[in-house]
A and B are shown apart, each in its own frame.
Chain A
Amino acid sequence: MTEQTLPQERRKTFPNLTDNNHSVTSPETDEYNCIAWAYEVSNKWMWPGALDYYSPYGLTRSDDLAALVQLYLGEGYAKCEHGEPEEGYKKVAIYVNQEGPQHAALQLESGKWTSKLGDWEDIRHDTLEALEGQEYGKATIFLKKRRA
């Protein structure tokens, strides 16, 4: 069965996406975002300290990036050096551009990644570079946690 890819109009937002390096895994919905998806939650829009969104542990928004890192640290993740697969671990990668953190991706057991694109679809993407660019910036912060 041919895997569905992101519509061409949306792929313009992510110039590194190709026909072969990603596939759509869930339809679009505004009920959760990438931060929630990487946190393995799919029924809340999450952003630490944001007035309108869910933030566990009473995280405050003194610094967006620090708060996002703390979010995953609170779930048993620890900072690590890179996003390469490590046996027995899953990873979260946080993308940062000049405006600050923009996106988080969760590593699958295969070593590939899963991402919720804002209100758009979830996709599986082969590499972190597939979503790098002007909109999300670069995968810069990495965290890992032992798989259950």
Chain B
Amino acid sequence: MKVSVRGRSNIKREFNELASHWHDETGHLSSPSTITGTDTYLKIISMGKPAIPFILKDLQERGGHWYRALRILSGTDPVPPEAKGDVPQMKECWLRWGREKGYVR
């Protein structure tokens, strides 16, 4: 789905606001269901596939538990079972996927 330049700018602004809020409200938490069940996280998921490049950029720059959102939006999971919970590996799997799909340079 192509997004116009203005549309992309709006998505970026909306994502950045939501992502900052989500990091602030969940940074101290450990429960995956609590971290990824906030209204803010669900709003980000509701932005749809156009949010994927911004999520990957945030994952790369700030980290965070974006894996559920990425699985839902992409319909895939590039993290092998043996890497689950190994955060550096999980990030690298998703960023490699993002590079292959053209979401990440």
Contacts A30-B87, A31-B87, A45-B85 given; indicate if A13 touches B28 (C-beta within 8 A). yes
Q: Once the chains are docked, how many angstroms separate the CA of A102 from the CA of B26?
A: 11
Contact in complex: B28, A135 (CB < 8 Å)? yes
Contacts A46-B85, A51-B68 given; indicate if A64 touches B30 (C-beta within 8 A). no
Q: Once the chains are docked, how many angstroms separate the CA of A118 from the CA of B33?
A: 13
Contact in complex: B90, A52 (CB < 8 Å)? yes
Q: With a CB–CB cut-off of 8 A, which chain A residues contact B34? A: 99-100, 102
Asked if B31 is an interface residue, CB under 8 A from chain A, the answer is: yes
Asked if A44 is an interface residue, CB under 8 A from chain B, the answer is: yes
Name the contact of A120 in the complex, choosing from B28, B32, B33 (C-beta under 8 A): B28
Contact in complex: B85, A44 (CB < 8 Å)? yes
In this complex, how many residues of chain A approach chain B with their Cβ under 8 Å: the count is 34
Name the contact of B29 in the complex, choosing from A10, A53, A55, A118 (C-beta under 8 A): A118
Known pairs A99-B31, A118-B29; list 6 more (Cβ under 8 Å): A35-B30, A44-B87, A53-B85, A54-B85, A100-B33, A100-B34
Q: With a CB–CB cut-off of 8 A, which chain A residues contact B71? A: 51-52
CB-contacts of A52-73 with B (<8 A): 52-55, 64
Asked if A47 is an interface residue, CB under 8 A from chain B, the answer is: yes
A-B contact pairs, 29 of them (CB 8 A): A30-B63, A30-B87, A31-B88, A34-B30, A44-B86, A44-B87, A45-B87, A47-B30, A47-B32, A50-B32, A50-B33, A51-B71, A52-B65, A52-B68, A53-B84, A54-B84, A54-B85, A54-B86, A55-B84, A55-B85, A64-B31, A99-B33, A100-B31, A104-B30, A118-B28, A119-B64, A120-B27, A135-B28, A135-B29
Asked if B103 is an interface residue, CB under 8 A from chain A, the answer is: no
Q: With a CB–CB cut-off of 8 A, which chain B residues contact A99? A: 31, 33-34
Q: Once the chains are docked, how many angstroms separate the CA of A87 from the CA of B85?
A: 34
Taken residue by residue from 110 to 122, chain A's Cβ proximity to chain B (1 for < 8 Å, 0 otherwise) reads as 0000001111100
